[in-house]
A and B are shown apart, each in its own frame.
Chain A
């Protein structure tokens, strides 16, 4: 620390911006769109489970909100070998 730092106030705004970006990215997924995400996840899982055996935690649904569009990211992990269910 030099004598000049004393006169130069800390730039705290970039810290605020970074903290918010990280926090909100997380909150938008977990809380913000939770109702929709939960419903989508449930129904996607249901459709897949009709055809293959899949543990519930292997279906991940994420939503990213942007100015013009929102994107829905669906990640489905199928365990190998794929075990097809018999047609109902």
Chain B
């Protein structure tokens, strides 16, 4: 049975696109057929993070408006053969997405894929609502920072009220993905702790992604961090999160990169 997952947050810049790419790739690594869908019309970036920016021919809006077939718009990942990307339009107006059109595309995707991972635009406007509309499960990406937590709370309220599932009176499954977490700073009382955020938002925890250089390195080269640096701390956290989505029970931990001390950094850089 296929599952539609929306990656959402309200606030921009917290790691929705990075998380969509990383989780999508991790699910595909487990053998699932996965489509990652960019809903950020006008500001598409999932293609860039996935390294497929030069292969975009047709996009979501072309498919919604019947100008291209779904199969023509889907871009197959060069590294994982069960991973596909449906890019957003860069030039068209976001109003070109219609609720009925999106519903039709989602139904078509459900026929060919196990997982449809929707990368929501920031904000709480129409684009974000369309991205979450047909979801079976939501991943709420949150930074341990006041404005991100507040916006996540708002998005959780919308997931419970404005999705098709909620309107049918069904329970909307929601998971918290805490990104850019720095365990040492949290321990020193300088950053909200995991438990603080969980207590405030009251949704189950899917994973804790530690702040790491590997994430920027991955987007620099256009490859999901779970593929390009599978041993890095964030990749291990994303891989565990993907397995939890598939129903595996894995103990929650905060992976850490190998620490390079001050002297190591000083001399490591000179050596490099």
Contacts and interface: CB of A to CB of B under 8 A. Distances in A.
Interface residues of A, number: 23
Nearest to A19: B146
Given A33-B157, A35-B161, A66-B202, A16 B146 contact: yes
B189 A12 contact: yes
Contacts of B76: none
Contact of A24 (B150, B192, B193): B150
- Measured as residues with beta carbon below 8 angstroms from the partner, the interface class of chain B is 10 to 19
Nearest to B191: A13
Contacts, number: 52
Interface string B113-156: 00000000000000000000000000000000110011001100
Contact of B154 (A16, A19, A20, A32): A32
A58 interface: no
Nearest to B186: A13
Given A14-B189, A33-B157, A20 B146 contact: yes
> Across chains A and B, which 5 residue pairs bring their CB atoms closest together, nearest first?
A11-B189, A32-B157, A67-B202, A17-B196, A13-B189
9 contacts: A10-B189, A11-B188, A13-B186, A13-B190, A13-B193, A17-B192, A17-B200, A24-B153, A28-B153
